Amino acid sequence: MDHFLYRDGALYAEDVPISEIAAAVGTPFYVYSSATLLRHFKLFDEALEGTDHLVCYAMKAASNQAILKTLAQAGAGMDVVSQGEYLRAKAAGVPGEKIVFSGVGKTAEEIRVALTGGIRQFNVESEPEMAVINTVALELGTVAPITIRVNPDVDAKTHAKIATGKSENKFGIPISRAKEVYALAASLPGLEVVGIDCHIGSQLTDLEPFRLAYEKVAELTEVLRAEGHNIRRLDLGGGLGIPYERSNEAPPLPVEYGQLIKDTLGHLGCEIEIEPGRLIAGNAGLMISKVIYVKSGEGRDFLIVDGAMNDLIRPAMYEAHHDIVPVNEPAPGTESQPYDIVGPVCETGDTFAKQRALAPLSAGDLIAFRSAGAYGAVMASEYNSRPLIPEVLVHEDQFAVIRQRPTFDEMINRDTIPEWL
């Protein structure tokens, strides 16, 4: 469920007409619903009710400080994967003890910044990384709390570019080597082992891969405790999918996911951490674009819109589907026609959809790309010297621009010309 609904023939974000925002900020732009963000966070929080737990929002999905603050005020922790994300979370008021630092390539500087500013734990991905964390912690005269990410060799059956739990993926250590790696961690004086980390991929629409992975984590917990390790925290990552195509069967609900966690891991008495990102932010955001031209081609019509692959790269990068709807609701009985929906970037890949059935549209009409809140604005670029598009947050009948569109001068003046030119 989201809070983007038609009223009297017009698409609204909560209690604000989309057309009103478009008139104020121009197109294209992203718009997020506070109510949807909070609803999705609370679904995860309630799904783990009765367990000691922390829901850490995976901020790589959408990292605007206004979004972070909205979730943090509701009690969310944060999962970060870079120094920039760590500093964003801190700037949004998230305390260090609620920030988990993931990622395969943490640098000594990133580790130093997090240890100095406060960190809940590092999710360690390799022995070389473990050694660097130990060195930096000793230099600072502190001890770094860590989990070790184990790769359970479970096929998440998701897109190859977002699968992380198979043996050939770059993430974590093989679960078969966990005993020796945990023994090494225990021998390093700058580290405190607090638990196990596991994340098998993104956009999972079936609970069975989670079950297989968590059963392996449960078994490993017992083995490591028998070896003398105080395993008291299990970081289970995120990955639960969202329904990008509304006509398709819906993915499992957070409450079903939460019950699976309780069934497979509840007997261990561990604190549970989960790191949802896409399911919290995905359906909480739209990208709004305007039709520039309707072009007749050989056997097909094209909608050329002012949004492009640099604004929303998921269709070009992942062959991803986004439902696309007109901002002005078609009259009942209006006959649809197929369009190829494309942007103005000079790439054939700048195609959002092929032969998508929509009510007839004309130049100047607004369209909305649904489920664009996750991995939309954060993956945008200035390719073709197109300025980054604004982000807007709605709260009931109010809206605020939470990231301005830079002017062309601001964008161009970031370049520095050498003296010899």
CATH (domain of 395):
2.40.37.10
Examine the domain organization and report whether 114 and 23 are in the same domain. Answer: no
For residue 418, tell me if it sits in a domain: no
Q: Please state, in angstroms and rounded to a whole number, the distance separating the CA atoms of residues 120 and 156.
A: 27
H or E segment and range at residue 316: helix 314-318
270 is catalytic: no
- Output the pLDDT for position 158: 47
Examine the domain organization and report whether 27 and 82 are in the same domain. Answer: no
Catalytic residue among 56, 198, 270, 346: 346
Examine the domain organization and report whether 76 and 99 are in the same domain. Answer: yes
Q: Please state, in angstroms and rounded to a whole number, the distance separating the CA atoms of residues 364 and 326.
A: 11
Examine the domain organization and report whether 60 and 145 are in the same domain. Answer: yes
For residue 394, tell me if it sits in a domain: yes
User: Of 279, 312, 328, which residue constitutes the final position of a domain?
Assistant: 279
Examine the domain organization and report whether 122 and 13 are in the same domain. Answer: no
Q: Residue 214 is encoded by which pair of tokens?
A: 């968590």
For residue 419, tell me if it sits in a domain: no
Q: CATH number of the domain at 132, please.
A: 3.20.20.10
For residue 407, tell me if it sits in a domain: yes
Examine the domain organization and report whether 52 and 121 are in the same domain. Answer: yes
Q: How many CB atoms lie within 10 A of CB 307?
A: 28
What predicted TM-score, i.e. pTM, was given to this entire model? Answer: 0.93
What are the residues whose beta carbons fall under 8 Å from the beta carbon of 357, sequence distance 6 or more?
A: 336, 337, 338
Examine the domain organization and report whether 375 and 290 are in the same domain. Answer: yes
**Tens place of pLDDT per residue across the chain (421 aa):** 689 999 999 999 999 999 999 999 999 999 999 999 999 999 999 999 999 999 999 999 999 999 999 999 999 999 999 999 999 999 999 999 999 999 999 999 999 999 999 999 999 999 999 999 999 999 999 999 999 999 988 865 544 444 444 445 456 899 999 999 999 999 999 999 999 999 988 788 889 999 999 999 999 999 999 999 999 999 999 988 888 876 566 788 999 999 999 999 999 999 999 999 999 999 999 999 999 999 998 889 999 999 999 999 999 999 999 999 999 999 999 999 999 999 999 999 999 999 999 999 999 999 999 999 999 999 999 999 999 999 999 999 999 999 999 999 999 999 999 999 9
For residue 134, tell me if it sits in a domain: yes
User: Of 260, 279, 298, which residue constitutes the final position of a domain?
Assistant: 279
- Output the pLDDT for position 201: 81
State the residue range of the domain holding 163. Answer: 34-279
Examine the domain organization and report whether 292 and 195 are in the same domain. Answer: no
Burial of residue 403 (CB within 10 Å: 0-12, 13-18, 19+) is: middle
- Output the pLDDT for position 165: 40
Examine the domain organization and report whether 354 and 370 are in the same domain. Answer: yes
- Output the pLDDT for position 171: 67
Examine the domain organization and report whether 106 and 215 are in the same domain. Answer: yes
- Output the pLDDT for position 157: 53
Q: How many domains does the chain fold into?
A: 2
Examine the domain organization and report whether 334 and 296 are in the same domain. Answer: yes
Examine the domain organization and report whether 293 and 357 are in the same domain. Answer: yes
User: Of 279, 301, 324, which residue constitutes the final position of a domain?
Assistant: 279
For residue 421, tell me if it sits in a domain: no
- Output the pLDDT for position 239: 86
For residue 256, tell me if it sits in a domain: yes
For residue 12, tell me if it sits in a domain: yes
